Amino acid sequence: MTELLLLIGAYLIGSFATAVWVSKGVFGIDIREHGSGNAGATNTFRVLGPKAGTFVMVVDMLKGVLAVRLSYLIPAYDSPEQLINLQVGLGLAAVVGHIFPIWANFRGGKGIATLFGMVLAIQPLVALCCVGVFLMILFLTRYVSLSSIIASIAFPVLILFIFREQEVFYRIFAIAVALMVVLTHQKNIVRLFRGNESKVPIFKNRKGGKDGENNPSY
């Protein structure tokens, strides 16, 4: 019963619709009606700028961290595997809450930042390795979607072959994460192949201008 209540709490934490509330409360718009229509950090970066995007990204990450930390409200576990399994369940509940937030008519984001916060709370070193992959791809391409996809694929590779995680449920979870990210980015993948995926204006391009200046999708 306690675990069920914690899972509900994790879902409610994930349902904190950061991008929606920031866009409405500060800018007077609904982020879901602009840009890609996604209520996440990437679309916030594109539509509202880096300050709002960074704030949304950090808060969405903290949702995943906080959801996992709910596991420590239970004083003892029969085994380390039981703790890991509950933490994964709590993190996934927060991700589901982010994607289908009860506080925002069940229209949320893709859950990447919240998913990262979850992994950061469970295995910080793995999370930091994934961040390294993400930033490297972002620096080379300036595509957040492509960076997210490759970083998510790196996650099970790290778990299975580098860190050699022995917990079966966590290994399955890592593979499922990669598949989920790929599936939720199908439209982005199509745009990447067509060459019309939006770039995030974080780095300067090779011609000296800022990203997005010649990109009409902004």
Q: What percent of the chain has pLDDT over 90?
A: 68
Over 80: is that where the pLDDT of 216 sits?
no
Q: What are the backbone dihedrals phi and psi of residue 210, each rounded to the nearest 5 degrees, phi first?
A: -95, 145
* CA–CA separation, 116 and 176 (whole Å): 14
- 17-45 average pLDDT score: 93
Q: What's the whole-number average pLDDT of the chain?
A: 89
* Domain spans of the chain, in order of start: 1-122, 123-200
DSSP string, 104-131: GTT-----HHHHHHHHHHH-HHHHHHHH
Residues 60-95 have pLDDT tens digits of 999 999 999 999 999 888 888 899 999 999 999 999
Residue 176's alpha-carbon distances to 120, 122, 152, 182, in angstroms, are: 17, 16, 10, 10
Residues 146-203 have pLDDT tens digits of 999 999 999 999 999 999 888 888 899 999 999 988 988 898 899 999 998 888 766 5
Residues 114-156 have pLDDT tens digits of 999 999 999 999 999 999 999 999 999 989 889 999 999 999 9
**Contact call for residues 211 and 205 (beta carbons, < 8 A):** yes
Over 50: is that where the pLDDT of 24 sits?
yes
Token pair of 27 as six digits: 């800018």
Q: Grade residue 204 by pLDDT with cuts at 50, 70 and 90.
A: low
Q: Considering just the CA atoms, what is the radius of gyration of the chain in Å? A: 18
Residues facing 210 on adjacent strands = 204
Q: What pLDDT is recorded for position 7?
A: 97
Q: What are the backbone dihedrals phi and psi of residue 204, each rounded to the nearest 5 degrees, phi first?
A: -80, 145
- 29-37 average pLDDT score: 93
